[in-house]
Structure 1
């Protein structure tokens, strides 16, 4: 992983935490995710004339990924509705990297060397520390934790599927544009059916904020897909989930949730893991 790729993934991590914070801030979760998914669809459709159409071999991956992403949005909505941002977000993101490491070894034949494996393990330890700190002083909210863990499994699944798909596509921009265009209409269609006459009234107050979240979501995942064409999947997944640190900071600043010394120590483990991954190979 080159410094340029690492910088792109770190920037994507901050951007990703930002759009998740926006989704959490919008009190009506269905409205929030309708705007983010629907806005992503509009951005994707607008980009398709300027990007290469993905190669034929990428379309099965793209179709499977679209289904997984719909499940991801539904589970993320549920976890945000049931739990605090500082709890749900770290658990959802922190479960993914180790699962991606296993799936990438099986399906992409990417087995990390000793230094990369140590870096992934250190990063996961740091991410787990942030997640566990989110539970401190509270009784476990098992439905919220279950939804967040299930969200993490969908993250791992689409990370590997999209990693293989974008490599087969010939164009990371074309892949992200078509992915957003294909999967982005499902949640808005469900919201229209569910809310009927109340849809416009519910969406209007949050339109600008939701569309900002959509733009951040598109940019964040587009950068990750580009990175997946230039480095192995597991280190990118671990580095991408540094968004947990950004999410914890956002939770502390904007949602008045404690950050604390343990989270600072967890961030230190994450940084050490990143250093090992950058010097692996």
Structure 2
């Protein structure tokens, strides 16, 4: 992985942690995710219409990705209703790189250097360490299955989009149409679960959702572009350094507890990133 791609993925990681913090800050997490999806849909349509229309073989990848993203958004919103940013986020993001690494080794032809594999595994240990306190800290245990559901969605759309963007040959257009499809799928599902009054929220919630949408769009566009230039599993793992950013944001902005376990896990995450660069 070249240095420019590496730095771009680090920026994507920061943006990803930032938009999650904005959703966590909102009074209604599900409403925030619906607003995010709607705004992203408008942004995606504006970008996609300025690009060549995708070939027919691209659309199954877009549809599959939209389903995976809907799963991710749904479970993530519910998880944030039960847990802190610095606890939910590591679990939701932590299991995905391990699943992607195994799937890449079994089904893809991406070449991953042995040291990069070690780095991914060390990174995974740090992520799991971040999440271990959920069972022993008195926090709601309901957050765990929801966060794991979000992790499953993450692993699914990471693999689908890495391959789909390669098939399309135009990651910018691919991401645009993806967010259009997501806007058509996730909000109706959310209305079925929570009712039509879901979006009767304050202008502040709309503003937070729109700002989160911009950060999310930028973060994912960078990630998908990077997956066309570097191994999918490696990009996926580096994106999960967003956990470190999320823990720091949770500590500084939300007053989440920063104990020794979190500090050690953060050090493992940084070490894992360093190993992937060797």
TM-score bracket relative to the smaller structure: over 0.9
| Counterpart-to-counterpart distance in 1, 2:29 and 2:186 | 11
CA pair 149-65 structure 1, distance change in 2 beyond 3 A: same
Structure 2 residue ranges without an equivalent (≥5): none
Question: What is the Cα-based RMSD across aligned positions, in Å?
Answer: 1.8
| Counterpart-to-counterpart distance in 2, 1:212 and 1:74 | 19
Give me the TM-score of the superposition, normalised by structure 1: 0.92
| Counterpart-to-counterpart distance in 2, 1:60 and 1:186 | 14
| Counterpart-to-counterpart distance in 1, 2:238 and 2:180 | 27
Q: Secondary structure of the equivalent of 1:54?
A: coil
Q: How big is the shift at 1:52?
A: 3.0
Q: How big is the shift at 1:136?
A: 7.5
Q: Which residue of 2 aligns with 1:249?
A: 248
Q: Secondary structure of the equivalent of 2:257?
A: coil
What whole-Å deviation, never above 9, does each CA across 1:43-80 have from its counterpart, x for those lacking one? Answer: 00111122233333322111111111111111111111
Q: Secondary structure of the equivalent of 2:134?
A: coil
Aligned 8 A contact 1:55 1:170 in 2: no
Q: Secondary structure of the equivalent of 1:109?
A: coil
Q: Which residue of 2 aligns with 1:69?
A: 69
Residue correspondence of structure 1 range 15-164 to structure 2 within 5 A: 15-110=15-110, 112-132=112-132, 134-135=133-134, 138-139=137-138, 141-164=140-163
Q: Secondary structure of the equivalent of 1:258?
A: coil
What whole-Å deviation, never above 9, does each CA across 1:225-271 have from its counterpart, x for those lacking one? Answer: 00000100111111100010100011101110122343333222222
CA pair 122-165 structure 1, distance change in 2 beyond 3 A: same
| Counterpart-to-counterpart distance in 1, 2:253 and 2:3 | 30
Aligned 8 A contact 1:56 1:169 in 2: no
Structure 1 residue ranges without an equivalent (≥5): none
| Counterpart-to-counterpart distance in 2, 1:199 and 1:242 | 32
| Counterpart-to-counterpart distance in 1, 2:222 and 2:119 | 21
Q: Which residue of 2 aligns with 1:227?
A: 226
Q: How big is the shift at 1:110?
A: 2.8
| Counterpart-to-counterpart distance in 2, 1:276 and 1:265 | 17
| Counterpart-to-counterpart distance in 2, 1:267 and 1:235 | 19
Aligned 8 A contact 1:58 1:168 in 2: yes
Length, aligned pairs only? 277
Q: How big is the shift at 1:122?
A: 1.1
| Counterpart-to-counterpart distance in 1, 2:182 and 2:118 | 36
